[in-house]
Structure 1
Amino acid sequence: MSAADTILAIDVMGFQIGIDRLIIGAFTGLTYGLLAVGLVLVYRSSKFVNFAHGAIGAFGASVLGLLVADWGAPYYIALPVAIAVAAALAGGIEVVVVRRLAGRPSLIGMIATLGLSQFILIMALLINSDGVSGFTFPKPPFLPSFTLGTTPVGPPYLAMLILAPAVLVGLSWFMRHTRSGLAIRAAADAPDTAALEGIRAHRMASYAWAIAGGIAALSAILVTPTTAGASLDSLGPDLLLMGLAGAVIARMSSIPIAFGASIAIGILEQILLSNPDTRGLVPVVVGLVIVVALLRQPTLGRADTERGGWRRVGSEPVPAAYASVRGILVTRIVIVGGSVLIAISLAYLVSNETAAILTSVAGFALVGLSVGLITGVAGQLSLGQFAYAGIGAAASAHLVEKTDNFVLGITGGVLVAAVVSALVGIPALRLKGLALAVSTLAFALATTAWVLRLDIFLGDGVAPAKPTWWGYSMDLARDYYLFAILMLALGVFVCANLWRSGFGRSLHALRDNEDAARAFTVPRTVRKLQLYAVSGAVAGLGGIVIGHGQTTLTVNSFPASASIDVVALTVVGGLGLVIGPLIGTLIIIGIPSMIVLGIPGEAALAIGWLLVVILLPDGLGGVGMKLRDRWYDWLAARAGVDVAVARAEPDVTQRSPLQRSAELTGLFAPDAEDLAAGPDAPPLLVVSDISRHFGGVVAVDHVDLQVSPGEIVGVIGPNGAGKTTLFEIIAGFTAPDTGSITFADRDVTTATPERRANAGLVRSFQDAALFPTMTVRETVMVAGERTRPSRLVVAALGSPYQDRLKAKRADELIERMGLGPFANRTISELSTGTRRVVELTCLLALEPRVLLLDEPSAGIAQNECDALGDLLLDVRRELGTAMVVIEHDLPLLSRLSDRMVAMNLGRLVASGTPDEVRNHPEVVSSYLGSDHAAIERSGSHLAPVPTIPAGTP
Structure 2
Amino acid sequence: MSEFDFGLDRLVIGLFTGLTYGMLAVGLVLVYRSSRFVNFAHGAVGVFGASMLALFVADWGAPYWVAFVVAVIVAALLSGLIEVVVVRRLEGRPSLVGMIATLGLSQLILVSALLINTDGVSGFTFPKPTHLPTFQVQSLPIGTPYVAMLVLAPVVLAGLGWFLKHHRMGMAIRAAADDPDTARLEGIPARWMATLSWAIAGGIAAFSAILVTPTTTGAGMDGLGPDLLLKGLAGAVIARMSSIPIAIAASLGIGVIEQLLLSNPDTRDLVTVVIALIIVVALLRQPQLGRSGQDKGRWRRVVLPPLPASYRTVRSIVWLPRLCVAVGIMVAVGLAYVVSNDTASVLTLVSGYTLVGLSVGLLTGVSGQLSLGQFAYAGIAAAASVHVAASTHNFLFGVLCGVITAALASAIVGIPAMRLKGLALAVSTLAFALATSSWLLRQELFLGDGLSPAKPTWWNYPLEYAVDYYLFALVVLCLGVWIANNLRHGGFGRMVQALRDNEHAARAFTVPNRLRMLQLYAVSGALAGLGGIVIGHGQSQLTVNSFPADASIEVVAVTVVGGLTVTLGPLLGALIIVGLPALVGMGMVGQAVLAVAWLLVVIFLPDGLGGVLVRGRDELYDWLARRHGIDPLRERHGVFDVSGQASSPLHEKPRLEGLVPRVGASARSAGPILTVDSVSRRFGGVVAVDHVGFQVAPGEILGVIGPNGAGKTTCFEIVAGFTAPDRGRIVFDGIDVTGATPEERAREGLVRSFQDAALFPTLTVHETLMIAQERAEPTRLWASALGVRTAERTKTEAADEVLERMRLTRFARHSVGELSTGTRRVVEIACLLSLQPRVLLLDEPSAGIAQSESDALGDLLLGIRDELGTTMVVIEHDLPLLSRLSDRMLAMNLGRVIAAGTPDEVRNDPAVVTSYLGADQAAIHRSGLRLATGADDPDPDPLVTRIQSVPSR
TM-score (norm 2): 0.95
Q: Which residue of 2 aligns with 1:424?
A: 413
- Please report how far the alpha carbon of residue 796 of structure 1 lies from its aligned counterpart in structure 2 after TM superposition: 0.8
Alignment of 1:285-324 (within 5 A): 285-297=274-286, 299-313=288-302, 317-324=306-313
Residue type of the partner of 1:871? L
Q: Which residue of 1 aligns with 2:17?
A: 28
Secondary structure (helix, strand or coil) at the match of 1:811 reads: helix
- Please report how far the alpha carbon of residue 656 of structure 1 lies from its aligned counterpart in structure 2 after TM superposition: 4.0
Among residues 48, 67, 72, which one is paired with 2:61 in the alignment? 72
Over 3 Å counting, the alpha-carbon distance change for 1:338 and 1:857 in structure 2 is: same
Q: How many residues align?
A: 931
Over 3 Å counting, the alpha-carbon distance change for 1:665 and 1:68 in structure 2 is: closer
- Please report how far the alpha carbon of residue 585 of structure 1 lies from its aligned counterpart in structure 2 after TM superposition: 0.6
Q: Which residue of 2 aligns with 1:556?
A: 545
C-alpha contact 1:510 1:517 (8 A) present in aligned 2:
yes
Alignment of 1:468-617 (within 5 A): 468-617=457-606
Q: Which residue of 1 aligns with 2:372?
A: 383
- Please report how far the alpha carbon of residue 758 of structure 1 lies from its aligned counterpart in structure 2 after TM superposition: 2.2
Secondary structure (helix, strand or coil) at the match of 2:892 reads: strand
Q: Which residue of 2 aligns with 1:461?
A: 450
Over residues 123-176 of structure 1, what are the superposed CA-to-partner deviations in whole Å (9 max), with x where a residue is unaligned? Answer: 000010334411210111122333323333211111111111111000011111
Tell me the distance in 1 between the aligned counterparts of 2:571 and 2:318: 22
Q: Which residue of 2 aligns with 1:797?
A: 786
Residue type of the partner of 2:612? V
Residue type of the partner of 2:527? V
Q: Which residue of 1 aligns with 2:920?
A: none
Over 3 Å counting, the alpha-carbon distance change for 1:439 and 1:44 in structure 2 is: same
C-alpha contact 1:683 1:707 (8 A) present in aligned 2:
yes
Of stretches 295-304 and 883-892 in structure 1, the one that deviates more from structure 2 is: 295-304
- Please report how far the alpha carbon of residue 281 of structure 1 lies from its aligned counterpart in structure 2 after TM superposition: 2.1
C-alpha contact 1:574 1:581 (8 A) present in aligned 2:
yes
C-alpha contact 1:175 1:181 (8 A) present in aligned 2:
yes
Over 3 Å counting, the alpha-carbon distance change for 1:931 and 1:727 in structure 2 is: farther
Over residues 765-824 of structure 1, what are the superposed CA-to-partner deviations in whole Å (9 max), with x where a residue is unaligned? Answer: 111111111111111111111211111111111100111111111111111111111111
Over residues 592-625 of structure 1, what are the superposed CA-to-partner deviations in whole Å (9 max), with x where a residue is unaligned? Answer: 0100111111100101011000000010011111
Q: Which residue of 2 aligns with 1:52?
A: 41
Tell me the distance in 1 between the aligned counterparts of 2:460 and 2:943: 80
Tell me the distance in 2 between the aligned counterparts of 1:227 and 1:931: 78
Q: Which residue of 1 aligns with 2:436?
A: 447
Q: Which residue of 2 aligns with 1:951?
A: none
Tell me the distance in 2 between the aligned counterparts of 1:785 and 1:612: 37
Q: Which residue of 1 aligns with 2:869?
A: 880
Tell me the distance in 2 between the aligned counterparts of 1:278 and 1:438: 23
Q: Which residue of 2 aligns with 1:41?
A: 30
Over 3 Å counting, the alpha-carbon distance change for 1:67 and 1:941 in structure 2 is: closer
Over residues 177-205 of structure 1, what are the superposed CA-to-partner deviations in whole Å (9 max), with x where a residue is unaligned? Answer: 21211111111111111111211111111
Secondary structure (helix, strand or coil) at the match of 1:655 reads: helix
- Please report how far the alpha carbon of residue 218 of structure 1 lies from its aligned counterpart in structure 2 after TM superposition: 0.2
Residue type of the partner of 2:655? L
Q: Which residue of 2 aligns with 1:943?
A: 949
Alignment of 1:85-164 (within 5 A): 85-164=74-153
- Please report how far the alpha carbon of residue 665 of structure 1 lies from its aligned counterpart in structure 2 after TM superposition: 5.6
Tell me the distance in 1 between the aligned counterparts of 2:639 and 2:747: 33
Over residues 865-905 of structure 1, what are the superposed CA-to-partner deviations in whole Å (9 max), with x where a residue is unaligned? Answer: 22212222222233332111001111221222222111111
C-alpha contact 2:291 2:423 (8 A) present in aligned 1:
no
Over residues 390-416 of structure 1, what are the superposed CA-to-partner deviations in whole Å (9 max), with x where a residue is unaligned? Answer: 110011001110000011000000011
Among residues 647, 650, 658, which one is paired with 2:649 in the alignment? 658
Tell me the distance in 2 between the aligned counterparts of 1:944 and 1:788: 43
Determine whether 1:634 maps to 2:623.
Answer: yes
Q: Which residue of 2 aligns with 1:723?
A: 712
Residue type of the partner of 1:500? H
Secondary structure (helix, strand or coil) at the match of 1:790 reads: coil
Alignment of 1:228-267 (within 5 A): 228-267=217-256
Secondary structure (helix, strand or coil) at the match of 1:15 reads: coil
Q: Which residue of 1 aligns with 2:335?
A: 346
Over residues 619-648 of structure 1, what are the superposed CA-to-partner deviations in whole Å (9 max), with x where a residue is unaligned? Answer: 001111111110001000111212233234
Q: Which residue of 2 aligns with 1:4?
A: none
Q: Which residue of 2 aligns with 1:372?
A: 361
Q: Percent of aligned positions with the same letter in both sequences?
A: 66
Over 3 Å counting, the alpha-carbon distance change for 1:754 and 1:117 in structure 2 is: same
Secondary structure (helix, strand or coil) at the match of 1:860 reads: coil
Residue type of the partner of 1:77? V
Q: Which residue of 2 aligns with 1:851?
A: 840
- Please report how far the alpha carbon of residue 744 of structure 1 lies from its aligned counterpart in structure 2 after TM superposition: 2.8
Secondary structure (helix, strand or coil) at the match of 1:767 reads: coil
Secondary structure (helix, strand or coil) at the match of 2:949 reads: coil
Q: Which residue of 1 aligns with 2:271?
A: 282
- Please report how far the alpha carbon of residue 429 of structure 1 lies from its aligned counterpart in structure 2 after TM superposition: 0.7
Of stretches 911-920 and 176-185 in structure 1, the one that deviates more from structure 2 is: 911-920
Please list every run of 5 or more consecutive structure 1 residues that lacks an aligned counterpart in the other structure: 1-11, 947-953
Q: Which residue of 2 aligns with 1:220?
A: 209
Secondary structure (helix, strand or coil) at the match of 2:115 reads: helix
Please list every run of 5 or more consecutive structure 2 residues that lacks an aligned counterpart in the other structure: 918-923, 930-939
Tell me the distance in 2 between the aligned counterparts of 1:472 and 1:88: 60
Residue type of the partner of 2:151? I
Over 3 Å counting, the alpha-carbon distance change for 1:56 and 1:634 in structure 2 is: same
C-alpha contact 1:677 1:710 (8 A) present in aligned 2:
no
Over 3 Å counting, the alpha-carbon distance change for 1:676 and 1:881 in structure 2 is: farther
Q: Which residue of 2 aligns with 1:860?
A: 849
- Please report how far the alpha carbon of residue 944 of structure 1 lies from its aligned counterpart in structure 2 after TM superposition: 5.3
C-alpha contact 2:888 2:903 (8 A) present in aligned 1:
yes
C-alpha contact 2:640 2:647 (8 A) present in aligned 1:
no
Tell me the distance in 2 between the aligned counterparts of 1:296 and 1:703: 31
Tell me the distance in 2 between the aligned counterparts of 1:660 and 1:344: 59
Residue type of the partner of 2:949? A
C-alpha contact 2:650 2:826 (8 A) present in aligned 1:
no
C-alpha contact 2:559 2:570 (8 A) present in aligned 1:
yes
Tell me the distance in 2 between the aligned counterparts of 1:554 and 1:431: 31
- Please report how far the alpha carbon of residue 576 of structure 1 lies from its aligned counterpart in structure 2 after TM superposition: 2.8
Q: Which residue of 1 aligns with 2:689?
A: 700
Secondary structure (helix, strand or coil) at the match of 1:461 reads: coil
- Please report how far the alpha carbon of residue 747 of structure 1 lies from its aligned counterpart in structure 2 after TM superposition: 2.4
Of stretches 862-871 and 176-185 in structure 1, the one that deviates more from structure 2 is: 862-871
Over 3 Å counting, the alpha-carbon distance change for 1:315 and 1:469 in structure 2 is: closer
Q: Which residue of 1 aligns with 2:163?
A: 174
Determine whether 1:714 maps to 2:703.
Answer: yes
- Please report how far the alpha carbon of residue 22 of structure 1 lies from its aligned counterpart in structure 2 after TM superposition: 1.5
- Please report how far the alpha carbon of residue 278 of structure 1 lies from its aligned counterpart in structure 2 after TM superposition: 2.3
Among residues 752, 756, 778, which one is paired with 1:763 in the alignment? 752
